[in-house]
């Protein structure tokens, strides 16, 4: 049984560009949450998707947007990248409100 | 009110010793408290979790102690091994709401020496 998968593993962008990160949830899971983890910090909640809708959002600007597809996979989009967006982006999946299981993350570097 | 405070920031324990990491929360709506283990370059892995209807939960060498009145919970790692060297995060969530956002502590870097 494959766990949560994320792509790409690493990504380098320049300031002002846009990026799309992808996540496939664990089999049987219908909820996807996205977190940003800066170096040496705990993960910070960005938003959560359930039934293709954003169910809850953390304290992140509108530059951060997402989508969930009918097969429960999800995308995180970040527009107008700036240096402070450099971080490990984590996707977690769950069965509705149950325990969240994290993927390996996408390391985004903004130059 | 959403904060979860974690201590210590780093911890060095000898092999076979007990590692203890503490967390405190403010939001009384939190009703689910997981601990995650993270190795460098990897995503956090769920280690053990507790709900406030019990004061202690044990799984193998890992034990969570929970004090609802003090709004504190802790992770004890018995017989610590070098393979336990990682960063540990406590977290909290209010599952009775319409979503399950996890609020994380700042992490504890554990080093188990030989």
What residues have CB less than 8 Å from A99, skipping those under 6 apart? B34, B46, B49
Average per-residue pLDDT for chain B: 93
Residue B95: per-residue pLDDT? 72
| Separation in Å, CA of B7 to nearest CA in chain A | 13
Q: Which residue of B has its CA nearest to A93?
A: B100
Residues of chain A found within 8 Å of residue B100, distances taken between Cβ atoms: 31, 33, 48, 94, 97-98, 100
pLDDT tens-place string over residues A38-72:
999 999 999 999 999 999 899 999 999 999 999 99
Cα Rg, chain A, nearest whole Å: 13
pLDDT tens-place string over residues A10-21:
999 999 999 999
Nearest to B78 by CA among B13, B4, B16, B8: B16
| Separation in Å, CA of A67 to nearest CA in chain B | 16
Q: Could you give the CA distance from residue A67 to residue A21 in angstroms, rounded to a whole number?
A: 11
Percentage, residues of chain A above pLDDT 70: 99
Q: Are B98 and A55 a contacting pair at CB < 8 A?
A: yes
Least CB–CB distance from A43: residue in B42, B99, B104 = B104
pLDDT tens-place string over residues A94-104:
987 778 999 99
| Separation in Å, CA of A81 to nearest CA in chain B | 22
Residues of chain A found within 8 Å of residue B104, distances taken between Cβ atoms: 42-44
A82 CB burial (10 A radius; 0-12, 13-18, 19+) = exposed
Residue A98: per-residue pLDDT? 77
- Check pLDDT > 70 for residue A1: no
- Check pLDDT > 70 for residue B26: yes
- Check pLDDT > 70 for residue B97: no
Put simply, whether B46 touches A (Cβ < 8 Å) is yes
Residue B25: per-residue pLDDT? 96
Percentage, residues of chain A above pLDDT 90: 90
Cα Rg, chain B, nearest whole Å: 14
Average pLDDT (B17-32) is 94
pLDDT tens-place string over residues A73-95:
999 999 999 999 999 999 999 98
Q: pLDDT: is A71 or B98 the higher one?
A: A71
Residue B1: per-residue pLDDT? 52
Per DSSP bridges, beta strands A106-110 and A10-13 are parallel
């Amino acid at each position: 049984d494959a766990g949560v998968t994320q792509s790409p593993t690493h990504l380098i962008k320049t300031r002002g560009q846009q990026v799309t990160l992808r996540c496939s949830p664990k089999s049987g899971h219908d909820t996807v949450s996205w977190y940003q983890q800066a170096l040496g910090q705990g993960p910070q909640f960005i938003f959560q998707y359930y039934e293709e809708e954003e169910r809850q959002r953390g304290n992140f600007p509108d530059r951060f947007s997402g989508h969930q597809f009918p097969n429960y996979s999800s995308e995180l989009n970040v527009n107008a990248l700036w240096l402070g967006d450099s971080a490990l982006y984590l996707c977690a999946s769950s069965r509705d409100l149950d325990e969240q299981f994290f993927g390996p993350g996408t390391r985004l570097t903004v130059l | 009110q959403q904060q979860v405070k974690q201590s210590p920031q780093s911890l060095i324990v000898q092999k076979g010793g007990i590692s203890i990491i503490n967390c405190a929360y403010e939001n009384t709506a939190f009703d689910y408290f997981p601990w995650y283990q993270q190795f460098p370059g990897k995503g956090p892995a769920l280690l053990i979790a507790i709900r406030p209807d019990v004061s202690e939960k044990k799984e193998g060498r890992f034990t969570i102690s929970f004090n609802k009145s003090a709004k504190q919970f802790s992770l004890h790692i018995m017989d610590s091994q070098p393979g336990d060297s990682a960063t540990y995060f406590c977290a909290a969530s209010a599952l009775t709401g319409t979503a399950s956002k996890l609020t994380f502590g700042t992490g504890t870097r554990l080093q188990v020496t030989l």
